[in-house]
């Protein structure tokens, strides 16, 4: 019954997985962690000056939208899924403009001081990605991508959950979009940004996070992960039941945020 994640990606297609979240928009809002002001400070320190306007790609339910908007940035939040966008609109301040659109559907026009993606860039089409990104940025403007997997912190608990999951999924993580091995210092999308003619000063940093949640909340988080969303419903219920049975009542998780930053070249 186990399905290799790469094979399931091929069967469902990345676009199909990217569009699977709307059915769990409320769970996404409830169980996905938000972002702290430390992330905002990292991005603004890199920018070197106040950023007035930002475009968000794949905003989801607005976890990152709120962070930047609450710090006074005028955010245009784009999201292709209508259900996710409806959930976002319940939680963001009035200075947020919302647009239902995929990244590939955005057309050059207004340029922004910051374009960012929160755990969403891997869903975008790699063809022409950085040319399109540069067209949305002011010269010298900042691109930011941030996110990371949530994992059980205790190795024994993680192994028990992996064993419970194994009959259904060999892995529930997204493989590196460009095949960069995990042991390499610079990870994707920094690897692509370093090769792009449009961007310079590529940086990677890590914000460490440790969180505590109940076993039910952790399984609630898993219910928003695309690898589980594309399983048949009966398998999804089975795997969640198996996982929750092997977890303690509360679990410690690592939720580190890897941040990639780059600057749009002036001369392009």
At residue 204, does pLDDT exceed 90? yes
Beta bridge partners of 144: 116, 261
Weakest mean pLDDT among 20-29, 99-108, 206-215? 20-29
As a whole number of Å, the CA-based R_g of the chain is 18
11 confidence band (pLDDT: 50, 70, 90): very low
First to last CA, the chain: 51
Closest C-alpha to 136, from 48, 23, 76, 55: 55
Q: How many domains does the chain have?
A: 1
At residue 62, does pLDDT exceed 90? yes
At residue 46, does pLDDT exceed 60? yes
Q: pLDDT digits over 220-244, tens only?
A: 999 999 999 999 999 999 999 999 9
Q: Which domain holds residue 254?
A: 5-264
At residue 88, does pLDDT exceed 50? yes
CA dist 13 and 75 (Å) reads 30
Pair 35, 211: CB distance under 8 Å = no
- Assign 3-class secondary structure to the chain: CCECHHHHHHHHCHHHHHCCHHHHHHHHHHHCCCCCHHHHHHHHHHHCCCCCEEEEECCCCCHHHHHHHHCCCEEEEECCCHHHHHHHHCCCCCCCEEECCCHHHCCCCCCEEEEEEECCHHHCCCCCHHHHHHHCEEEEEEEEEEECCCEECCHHHHHHHHHHHCCCECCCCCCCCCCCCCCCCCCCCHHHHHHCCCEEEEEEEEECCEEEEEHHHHHHHHCCCHHHHCCCHHHHHHHHHHHHHHCCCEEEEECCEEEEEEEECCCC
- pTM for the predicted model, two decimal places: 0.91
CA dist 142 and 28 (Å) reads 27
* CATH label of the domain that carries residue 28: 3.40.50.150
Closest C-alpha to 78, from 95, 103, 54: 103
- Residue partners of 29: CB distance under 8 A and separation at least 6: 61, 87, 91
In this predicted structure, what is the pLDDT of residue 21? 55
Burial group, residue 79, by CB count within 10 angstroms (0-12, 13-18, 19+): buried
In this predicted structure, what is the pLDDT of residue 162? 97
């Amino acid at each position: 019954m186990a399905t290799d994640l790469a094979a399931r990606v091929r069967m469902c297609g990345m676009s199909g997985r990217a569009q699977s979240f709307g059915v769990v928009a409320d769970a996404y809002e409830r169980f996905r962690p938000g972002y702290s002001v430390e992330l905002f400070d990292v991005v603004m320190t890199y920018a070197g000056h106040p950023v007035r306007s930002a475009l968000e790609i794949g905003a989801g339910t607005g976890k990152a939208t709120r962070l930047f908007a609450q710090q006074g940035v005028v955010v245009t939040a784009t999201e292709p899924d209508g259900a996710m966008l409806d959930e976002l609109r319940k939680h963001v301040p009035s200075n947020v403009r919302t647009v239902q659109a995929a990244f590939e559907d955005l057309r050059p026009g207004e340029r922004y001081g910051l374009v960012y993606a929160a755990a969403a860039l891997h869903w975008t089409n790699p063809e022409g990605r950085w040319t399109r990104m540069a067209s949305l940025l002011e010269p010298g403007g900042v691109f930011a991508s941030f996110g990371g997997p949530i994992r059980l912190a205790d190795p024994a608990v993680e192994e028990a959950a992996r064993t419970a999951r194994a009959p259904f999924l060999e892995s529930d993580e997204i493989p590196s979009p460009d095949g960069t091995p995990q042991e390499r210092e610079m990870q994707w999308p920094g690897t692509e940004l370093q090769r792009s003619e449009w961007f310079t000063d590529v940086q990677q940093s890590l914000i460490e996070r440790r969180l505590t949640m109940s076993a039910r909340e952790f399984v609630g988080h898993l219910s928003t992960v695309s690898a589980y969303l594309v399983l048949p419903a009966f398998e999804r219920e089975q795997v969640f039941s198996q996982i929750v049975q092997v977890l303690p009542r509360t679990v410690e998780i690592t939720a580190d945020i890897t941040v990639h930053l780059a600057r749009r070249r002036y001369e392009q």
